[in-house]
Structure 1
Amino acid sequence: MRTPKMLMAAAVLALAVGATSARADETPGITDSTVKIGITGPLTGPVAVVGAVAEGIRARVEAANAKGGVKMSDGKTRKIELVIKDDMLDPQRTLANVREMVEQDKVFALVGTAATPNNVAIGRYIEQRKVPNVFMYSGVHKLNAPHEEIGFVPAFSTEATSFATYLKDNKPAAKVAILYLNTETGETFMKAFDKAIDGSGVKVVDRQPVTSQDPTVETQLTALKASGADTLVIIAAPQQGGEAIRFQAESGWKPLTLVTNLSSAYPILQAVGLDHAKGIITSNFLKPIVSPQKSGDAGIDQYLDDIAAAKVNFVFANTIGQVGYATGDALVKALEEMKKPTRAALLETVFNFQKWDNPLLLDGIKLNTKAGSDIFPIEALQLYQFDGQKYVPVGKLLDFEGKTEE
């Protein structure tokens, strides 16, 4: 027979086991010495150029681990274990990867998930599982899991407003043709662009949709050219955006061409021909990196050292890889700042940071968010024009802090 003391001991043991299980359920993927982070992105396939995001994150994480890891607020120093999976930018593969990482690999959080449709695909699942999806590589920040996800790059609406501002100031009677990605990405961009030009002399005369799987954009560009537009705005996946740049140059159309950051990375311009890209205008929020040699800028020089040590598969001037590195730095900072080693604490941190520095952000840009009122970490952009060899700044930094359209 069990004595009262034995029953009490059993009850205490059961409570202890239950508490341990609850903690394990609440914070999988983190121990006293490690924290496991999942990344899914297109490492192969037609949009593999976007895989540079994962590579850039890896470079920054490996640099942190080489210094012993990340010292967190509970006094423990943890190394970051990355679980990286290829989804070829297929939303269903993204969802399958995330399920595997959460249920089998037991990741603490996701970081840098690429593309709007892919983040939409995993939204319901991560909301149910309460898995943080931080610093998405998507300019649509309000998707299916608003309590579990936050973007990193400026919103597509911010970029649209910057393009509209440029045209109103420099080509106030522009007749605009838009090649747009036929997803929430393109819809978000166009809604903000239309609002920003409302009441001005800038008019949209035609729009043509494109998908990231389209083998060519010739049909769409032929229609846009025939519209009589003198200005072309491209919001498309890298391959299709690059082909559009090539078309407008080779066809003899020669409109003023504005290309979103998504399709303006230097390797894309190299692929379509630097001469074809001469004159295009784009936006960026990162410092220009024009040489693999040390520049004297501490952030750039550390980036160059870290990507060399990590043996990344992108060139130093690749802005997509630079975004990945900057994302990795934000992840490290968030882990350092979170008050407890829990998923809830990570989310509390990334939704409430003020004036965070980042080694690759342009001077004058800081990371800012505030739960309930500001979910956009970066709300400032600099416009650049490609001179055939490099991007040259156009005008002053455009700051939309607190004004980003959802």
Structure 2
Amino acid sequence: MRLVTVLRGCAIQLAAAALLAASHASAAEPSPGITDDTIKIGVTGPLTGPVAVVGGVAEGIRARVEQANGEGGVKMGDGKTRKIELVIEDDGLDPQRTLANVRKMVEKDKVFALVGTAATPNNLAIGRYISQKKVPNVFMYSGVVALNAPEWEVGFVPSFSTEADAFAEYLKINRPDARVAFLYLNTETGQTFMTAFDGAIEGTAIRVLERQPVTSQDPTVETQLNTLKASGADTLVIIAAPRQGGEAIRFQSESGWKPLTLVTNLSSAYPVLQSVGLENAKGIITSDFLKPIVSDQKSGDEGVDRYLDAIKSANVNFVFANTIGQTGYAIGDALIQSLEKLKQPTREELMKVVHNMDGWKNPLFFDGISMNTKEGSDIYPVEALQLYQFDGQKYIPIGGVLEFEGTTHE
């Protein structure tokens, strides 16, 4: 009898040990950059230099993260509440500096993930590296069409092809016989936009008369603009970095040309318009997926008011109406939503979450626009846009939301 009791005791101990071992096996080993109390996130962007206005993305992310930390941190899907530690580096929008920053953040700072990486060439520059290291690069500030590290990337802003479709739709309805001139960024950005636009106007009476390339380093684009004006076009489409795009906005007004001017989100931010004179920007049309924020006073919109509180508390270096800074704040909020759904403290789990977004809301998104992805078939979170026209002081929504869900193309 005593032997039977001993054997039973051993069996119970073995079963308990097996159960404990199984429990440990099912609990995923945490990835670098995350503890029970903190999670470290890397941000690289142009904080200085000729395109420092794009640094508003990093500033907006910082404002949202500081807001979350000030409220106690983020309660994540595994039940633990963590504060976010941001590591922010300046790359001047130089792809090689971006790569160097990312190497440092991954290998020295041990970040869990990257967020809000700005510009297409910069994201392309780090694709191979993040694939090798298996580091998430989430909610990129880039309208890239084909991701070069799809397992470890997800974008945020709509594709340039989606913006091209939106502009084409506007012209089909409001200027069906438009004669178009392009000032385009001579990178994948500009080429992607123009290819999509050309496809969208097939079979219509809209014609493209002239195309002139620019780079983000061009000190002036006056020669290109004079060529575009001489083409006889009655519609100007600007796809350029903020400085060159701003020069084009001023030129189309002050030169006496005054075409219908469509400006991509790249260079339509309020600070760009201020730099060239608000009166020169009157009448331009742009697209966005964010709510128009026309005052720094409380509006009664909970999301907008929280944004205003956050940027004031964080003492950001952009004005409240800056759509680039607003996008950064929205990216920060998307990051926090992702972490709230993170059931395992791993990089792989983060990618699973962001590749399967289903109707996620965002406090700054225009009503009717949400974030949706589907692993393996839809990698574009935002595929809807609202068109706006600048009235000399603020952007006014025109028409309804243009929806392109599931149709983003190269």
Query: TM over 0.5: same fold?
Result: yes
- Of the candidates 68, 84, 101, which is equivalent to residue 64 of structure 1? 68
1:77-108, Cα deviation, whole Å (9 max, x unpaired): 11000000000000000000000000100000
- Asked if the contact 2:135–2:152 (Cα under 8 Å) also holds between the matched residues in 1, the reply is yes
Return the offset for 1:135: 0.2
Query: Following TM superposition, by how much is the alpha carbon of 1:339 offset from its aligned partner in structure 2, in angstroms?
Result: 2.1
Note if contact 2:64-2:310 (Cα within 8 Å) is conserved in structure 1: yes
Q: Which of the residues 251, 256, 274 maps onto 2:255?
A: 251
Which of 148, 153, 156 matches 1:144? 148
Structure 2 counterpart of 1:363, one-letter code: D
Amino acid at match of 2:67: A
Contact 2:62 2:332 in 1 (8 A): yes
- Which residue of structure 1 aligns with residue 266 of structure 2? 262
Question: Do the aligned residues in 2 keep the contact of 1:36 with 1:82 (CA within 8 Å)?
Answer: yes
- Check conservation: 1:141, 1:150, Cα contact below 8 A: no
Q: Please name the residue that 1:291 is paired with.
A: 295
| Contact 1:221-1:244 within 8 A present in 2 as well | yes
Partner residue in 1 for 2:225: 221
Query: 1:141 offset after TM fit, Å?
Result: 4.1
- What letter corresponds to residue 175 of structure 1 in structure 2? R
Letter in 2 for 1:214: D
What is the CA–CA distance in structure 2 between the aligned matches of 1:220 and 1:339, rounded to whole Å?
A: 53
Paired with 2:121 and 2:144, the residues of 1 have a C-alpha distance of 10
* Structure 2 residue aligned with 1:54: 58
User: Aligned partners of 1:71 and 1:142: how far apart in 2?
Assistant: 33
Residues in 1 aligned to 2:329 and 2:96: alpha-carbon distance in whole angstroms: 26
Measured against aligned partners, the alpha-carbon deviations of 1:100-132 in whole angstroms (never above 9, x if no partner) come to 000100000000000001001111111111110
- Name the residue aligned to 1:274: 278
CA distance in 1, matches of 2:78, 2:392: 51
**Structure 2, unaligned runs of 5 or more:** 1-20
Counterpart for residue 306 of structure 1 = 310
Aligned to 2:372: 368
Q: Distance in 1 between matches of 2:278 and 2:75?
A: 44
The residue aligned with 2:183 is 179
2:167 match: 163
Please name the residue that 2:95 is paired with.
91
| CA distance, structure 1, for counterparts of residue 273 and residue 141 of structure 2 | 20
Helix, strand or coil at the partner of 1:110 = strand
Corresponding letter in the other structure for 1:129: K
- 1:141–1:375 contact (8 Å) kept in structure 2: no
- Contact 2:145–2:161 under 8 Å retained in 1: no
Offset from partner CA, 1:129-175 (integer Å, 9 cap, x none): 11100000001142321111111011111100000000011101101
Matched, 1:397 2:401: yes
Counterpart CA distance in 1 for 2:148 and 2:353 is 20
Q: Match for residue 356 of structure 2?
A: 352
What do the CA deviations read for 1:193-238 (whole angstroms, capped 9, x no partner)?
A: 0110011011111111111111111111111111111100001111
Query: Aligned Cα RMSD in Å?
Result: 1.5
Q: SS in structure 1 opposite 2:77?
A: coil
Q: Distance in 2 between matches of 1:46 and 1:322?
A: 20
Q: TM-score, normalised by structure 1?
A: 0.93
Write the letter of the residue equivalent to 1:344: E
In 2: Cα distance, 1:335 partner to 1:351 partner: 13
Alpha-carbon distance in structure 1 between the residues aligned to 2:82 and 2:402: 38
Report the alpha carbon displacement of residue 262 of structure 1 after superposing the two structures with TM: 1.2
What amino acid sits opposite 1:240 in the alignment?
Q
Provide the rounded CA distance (Å) in 1 between the counterparts of 2:283 and 2:51. Answer: 25
In the alignment, residue 354 of structure 1 is paired with which amino acid? Answer: D
Contact residue 141 and residue 151 of structure 1 kept, 8 A: no
Larger radius of gyration: 2
For 1:402 and 1:143, locate their aligned partners in 2 and report how far apart those are by CA, in whole Å: 16
**Does structure 1 residue 192 correspond to structure 2 residue 196?**
yes
Number of aligned residue pairs: give it. Answer: 387
Aligned to 1:241: 245
**Match of residue 338 from structure 1:** 342
Whether the 8 Å CA contact 1:55–1:321 is kept in 2: the answer is: yes
Contact 2:289 2:384 (C-alpha < 8 Å) held by counterparts:
yes
Code of the aligned partner of 1:93: R
User: What amino acid is aligned across from residue 139 of structure 2 in structure 1?
Assistant: F
- Number of the residue aligned with 1:3: none
Q: Tell whether the 8 Å contact from 2:145 to 2:409 is kept in structure 1 after alignment.
A: no
How far, CA to CA, are the matches of 1:361 and 1:31 in structure 2? 32
Which residue in the other structure is 1:4 paired with? none
TM-score by length of 2: 0.92
**TM superposition outliers: structure 1 runs of 4+ over 3 Å:** none
Tell me the distance in 1 between the aligned counterparts of 2:54 and 2:145.
18
Q: Deviations over 1:21-64 (max 9, x none)?
A: xx77x710011111000000000000000000000000000011
Other structure's SS at 2:371 match: coil
Q: Output aligned runs, 1:6-21, within 5 Å.
A: none
- Say yes or no: does 1:101 pair with 2:105: yes
How big is the shift at 1:68? 1.2
8 Å contact kept, 1:384–1:392: yes
